[in-house]
Amino acid sequence: MQYTSSKIVFIVRTLFFVLIFCDQHTASEHVDSANITCDCLAHNLWIIKATYTFTNVGEDKIKDSCPQNSTEKKRISIEGTIRTLHEDSFKNISNLVEVVLPNVGLKEIESGTFRNLSNLRKLHLHDNNLHELRNGTFVNLNASSLQFGNNTIVSLESGVFQNLSNVGELNLSKNKITEIRKGVFQNVYLWILNLEKNAISNLEPGTFASMFAKDKFGISLWLANNNLEAIDSQVFNNNYIQGVGLANNSISVLRPGDFNNLPNLDSLHLSGNKIQEVPEGVFNGSRIRILNLSCNKISVIAAGAFNNMTSLSLIEIQHNKLKEWDSKWFLGLPKIIIDASYNDIETIPAQGFQNVPEGSLVELDHNHIKNISDIAFAGLASLHYLNLSYNEIKEWKVDVLKNVVIEEFVDLRVNKIRCSDMGTDVPVLQTKGVLIEDCQVP
């Protein structure tokens, strides 16, 4: 095909106009650039109606990557390097609902960057190099998902998230935060606050006191894998917190009243700490439903430590250093799952199960149980399941479960008794659903 000189000039001018429209900024050696994609979305935010992609756009021209007057909801995503979000980076982009900028090398957010984005619902800035979050950065933001995980954030200025009424999920995990001051989360409405895998060793009293639940399910507070050494009831002071994760910290002592200021606490995870003793008065009378104390160094649990926990349905005390099973534990509980496996328990005493609720499931495998009292189960009407496998039991007396209804079975495998040693007692064992090493009954 032959082109006249006038047609060539026309094509060159047209291409020049398109380049100017798509990228009105020429990146200098001092300014990072990236490929910016703006998806126009249907009312269902997962349906993309149109996509606009601009290449080699400087960070000061992000606002030019979306059609400014369209009515569609918009999502901006970036591939490349954008080190700073400026105050006017998103200026005049109407109906912007999602900003997704992971792995772009982001180091700084200027105050007021999101001031006029009233429709923004997701702000995902995880996996970057943010070092701090300053007060005023998120003023008037209405986003329901804020993701800042896996940055290098060291400090949070007081009031940085103040008065955010629609947050929902706030993720600050995998940063380098060492302390949090009162006021950081003032008047924030959310359901998940994720602070896991930081280096937090200090929480100022009142840190969580002024948070509010976004819905009826309350707030889940995740603080696992930090450097906390103690529980302060003035820190954990909130009527809306229902779940607290404190696994893998350095907590060594539990004190009566530590959780009294969390009246609606439903689940508490304290596994992987350095706790040695559980005294009475820490959990009694609470509404806790799930209590995880596994993988500590617990050798002593007070007789009444778990009494009258009327909502408790699961207690995990496995992988500790317990040597005794106390017959006074578990008074006033509902039907429950008790996991006390992987300890050093040697004996089940007389009436050892007198307070265990009817129909409960009890795991006592991988202990060193040698002796079971003839009346260990006296006073117990029923068990759903009893696991005594991987112990050192030499003899199983056929009447030990007299008058006890076993809903599933009793597991005695990998002990020092065998069905072949039980002789005429095997038919009786069959009625109790006992599993022994070289046979399975029923």
What does the pLDDT look like over 207-239, one tens digit per residue? 999 999 998 889 999 999 999 999 999 999 999
Taking the C-alpha atoms of residue 374 and residue 348, their distance in angstroms, rounded to an integer, is 10
DSSP string, 175-217: S---EE-TTTTTT-EEEEEE--SS---EE-TTTTTT-EESSTT
Pairing relationship of beta strands 434-436 and 439-440 according to DSSP bridges: antiparallel
Burial class of residue 201 (count of CB atoms within 10 Å of its CB; 0-12, 13-18, 19+)? middle
Taking the C-alpha atoms of residue 351 and residue 361, their distance in angstroms, rounded to an integer, is 17
Q: Is the pLDDT of residue 196 over 90?
A: yes
Question: Can you tell me the mean pLDDT for 428-442?
Answer: 66
DSSP-assigned beta bridge partners for residue 189: 212
Tens of pLDDT, residue by residue over 63-93, are: 666 666 566 777 888 788 889 988 877 877 7
pLDDT value, residue 63:
63
Tokens coding 161: 């998230």
Q: Is the pLDDT of residue 295 over 60?
A: yes
φ, ψ for residue 181, nearest 5 deg: -95, 155
Q: What element of type H or E holds 145? A: strand 145-147
Pairing relationship of beta strands 33-41 and 73-80 according to DSSP bridges: antiparallel
Tens of pLDDT, residue by residue over 352-372, are: 999 999 999 999 999 999 999
Burial class of residue 28 (count of CB atoms within 10 Å of its CB; 0-12, 13-18, 19+)? exposed
DSSP-assigned beta bridge partners for residue 122: 98, 145
pLDDT value, residue 9:
38
Collapsed DSSP state (helix, strand, coil) of residue 19? helix
Contact between residue 88 and residue 111 where contact means Cβ atoms under 8 Å apart: no
Collapsed DSSP state (helix, strand, coil) of residue 20? helix
Contact between residue 255 and residue 278 where contact means Cβ atoms under 8 Å apart: no
**Displacement of CA 217 from its chain's centroid (Å):** 14
Q: Is the pLDDT of residue 17 over 50?
A: no
Collapsed DSSP state (helix, strand, coil) of residue 141? coil
Tokens coding 236: 């954990």
Q: Is the pLDDT of residue 19 over 70?
A: no
Q: What element of type H or E holds 429? A: helix 426-432
What does the mean pLDDT of the chain come to? 85
Identify the CA nearest to 236 among candidates 216, 249, 331.
Answer: 249
pLDDT category of residue 107 using cuts at 50, 70 and 90: very high
Q: Is the pLDDT of residue 344 over 50?
A: yes
Taking the C-alpha atoms of residue 105 and residue 176, their distance in angstroms, rounded to an integer, is 17
Tokens coding 105: 């090398």
> How much of the chain exceeds pLDDT 70, in percent?
80
Tens of pLDDT, residue by residue over 249-278, are: 999 999 999 999 999 999 999 999 999 999
Q: Is the pLDDT of residue 140 over 90?
A: no
Contact between residue 262 and residue 238 where contact means Cβ atoms under 8 Å apart: yes
Collapsed DSSP state (helix, strand, coil) of residue 220? strand
pLDDT value, residue 96:
84
Question: Can you tell me the mean pLDDT for 143-157?
Answer: 95
Q: Is the pLDDT of residue 40 over 80?
A: no
C-alpha distances (whole Å) from 359 to each of 275, 351, 408 are 30, 17, 10
Tokens coding 332: 């006033």
Contact between residue 173 and residue 192 where contact means Cβ atoms under 8 Å apart: no
Contact between residue 194 and residue 218 where contact means Cβ atoms under 8 Å apart: no
> How much of the chain exceeds pLDDT 90, in percent?
61
Q: Is the pLDDT of residue 163 over 80?
A: yes
Q: Of 175-184, 198-207, 405-414, where does mean pLDDT reach its minimum?
A: 405-414
pLDDT category of residue 23 using cuts at 50, 70 and 90: very low
Tens of pLDDT, residue by residue over 315-332, are: 999 999 999 999 999 999
Q: Is the pLDDT of residue 12 over 60?
A: no
Contact between residue 250 and residue 225 where contact means Cβ atoms under 8 Å apart: no
Q: Which stretches does DSSP call E strand in 333-381? A: 337-339, 347-348, 360-363, 371-372
Predicted structure pTM score: 0.86
Kindly give, in sequence order, each residue whose CB lies less than 8 Å from that of residue 377, ignoring residues fewer than 6 positions away.
Answer: 352, 353, 400, 401, 402, 404
pLDDT value, residue 34:
64
